[in-house]
Structure 1
């Protein structure tokens, strides 16, 4: 027969204190003497006492639940962020309610109302791109943290990848390999990610005193665009020896077209991608050197700062998270593979 589950009454009785004092000690309240707290905690440990989440929530005013609201219906960037956040929430014994607005503002408002009706303690809003998005924080009774896409309100708490610094890191890698005729192919100019990566590309070359090879080519985030851009670039700038691509899709398309034109990667042209989307980055031949945005870490960090905001310690502003370069076979010094 299963043993009876210990209650707070049992803990209080064993520790020789009132139920109110036991509750204060177990919830970390400061108005309990250290010796009394130690006695209560020792009693709880001896009895294998597990606090009832509902009762604890009623005492603290918290439900120990949070909402995750995403607009990334494809999930390419949103899912890693959500996984990282969920890891942190699980470690903090928080339940998670996930809603997908699918990029629809009306659906998003519906989900916000639904989450608030569930009395969530806070929200993480995950964007579908790094383009700043409208704030939903105004008049909400709970704290909100924005991940991947920053809020347009500077007073909100936002976490985004450092695309400028990461692009500089990628270009500096090419420069360190001795590459000097470096071109740039990227995505649509209305994406902040494309703008920031192009800016990082420009800054790295300027710091090294190296001229860009050709003009920046902007198109859609696709392999098809990568192939088309490669044909244009190799015709206009046949002497290029490296290309920094704004995404792995573009990089994979470039490698394919370069091979068809008899250009060897990395011997003749070193190629760096962006995103570390392993479906492409590890399967392209040669495997792509690429920037990894550390999205799971970004999600975990956003969740940790939501905890802080729930405790009244919000950290307003846009926080740029460092990325890292994954070096694979598509980059090497000239003539070395």
Structure 2
């Protein structure tokens, strides 16, 4: 006689873990159907799969991942290797990746190399020793990084920091388009005397953002005040110093585009101290959408969001595809988005 729901629930009072047989009895299907449904196999109707999943959840039944890995030659795990666990840029990327992994019941081993190449190699060996199915490597800067090589035996996706090797899969923010996006925003409400305050010139992202801004101005027959961007540190103090310089040398300016929110907040502070109204007299736009900086600026800062969580999700999707035998080598570019706040919205 087939078990009823009460019979199966009664069985669970016995000190033993639930089995495929219990799930099959509760769902009213065969053991083979339960196995196919829980392992994502084809030829199982949607309604049947849902019924099996609900029964498994009710019984707190979890598939034997070790047995699955022996059958499929997969471990159901991936490694997430970062160089900046406490960084405000790498954490959103990792959250996006983990969200995507979670939707497919994938376990994630997280390792922090702390920017140390020796520590990174140690973690890499440990992850490969655990038979991970693939790796996502999250950098601590936007600059290209050294590739882990082509002979690891598992696919690798580089996120935020691209690999130097074009054969690798990398997911990065579109910094050129971001510079263009910032300038086109201020041009849209009539600004034309525009200066650009960037960060460290050695950062590829800094150069790319400036390039996009110059291209956008050129398309409208304009150029940056001073004909080039000001490069310096990624800091508020540099933003303040740059703003002083611009006000002394280009008093006619009506917009300052900045390569980071920290720089922009320093710029806003000096404009306010000098008696310039933001944005009525001078509009300001930043980059990063770092909430602690952008929302606490006075006034709150218009900025470019790099869509870091989307970078992480895309990296996970690429890794899944590569694990399934469909790698997509080369860079994958994620568009940025404009977040409008009060440093570019005119007062009424």
Give the TM-score normalised by structure 2: 0.87
- Residue aligning to 2:151: 139
2:215 paired with 1:167: no
Which among 62, 86, 92 is matched to residue 104 of structure 2? 92
1:264-307 Cα shifts (integer Å, max 9, x gaps): 11111000000011111011101110001110111111111111
Deviation at 1:137, TM superposition (A): 3.5
- Deviation, structure 1 residue 262: 1.6
What's the counterpart of residue 202 of structure 1? 214
Cα distance between partner residues in 2 of 1:222 and 1:201: 20
- Cα displacement (A) at 1:51: 2.6
Question: Which blocks of at least 5 consecutive residues in structure 2 are unaligned?
Answer: 1-9
- Of 71-80 and 315-324, more deviation after overlay is shown by 71-80
Q: Residues of 2 paired with 1:101 and 1:22: CA distance?
A: 41
Distance in structure 2 (CA, Å) of the matches to 1:16 and 1:284:
62
- Asked if residue 116 in structure 1 is aligned to residue 116 in structure 2, the reply is no
* 2-structure distance, mates of 1:300, 1:66: 14
Cα distance between partner residues in 2 of 1:227 and 1:261: 11
Residue 332 of structure 1: how far off its partner (Å): 3.3
Contact 2:214 2:223 in 1 (8 A): no
1:54 Cα deviation from its structure 2 partner = 2.4
Matched, 1:225 2:238: yes
Identify the residue that residue 293 of structure 1 maps to in structure 2.
306
The answer to whether structure 1 residue 150 and structure 2 residue 187 are counterparts is: no
Alignment of 1:217-256 (within 5 A): 217-256=230-269
**Residues 16 and 187 of structure 1: CA distance in aligned 2, closer, same or farther (over 3 Å):** closer
Distance 2:100 2:231 in 1: 37
Q: Secondary structure at the match of 1:217?
A: coil
Aligned length: 328
Deviations 1:27-53 (A, max 9, x none): 3556xxx4xx45985984696465322
The answer to whether the 8 A contact 1:223-1:253 is kept is: yes
TM-score, normalization by structure 1: 0.90
RMSD over aligned Cα atoms: 2.4
Q: Distance in 1 between matches of 2:51 and 2:251?
A: 77
CA contact (8 A) 1:163 1:200 kept: yes
Stretch moving more, 47-56 or 317-326: 47-56
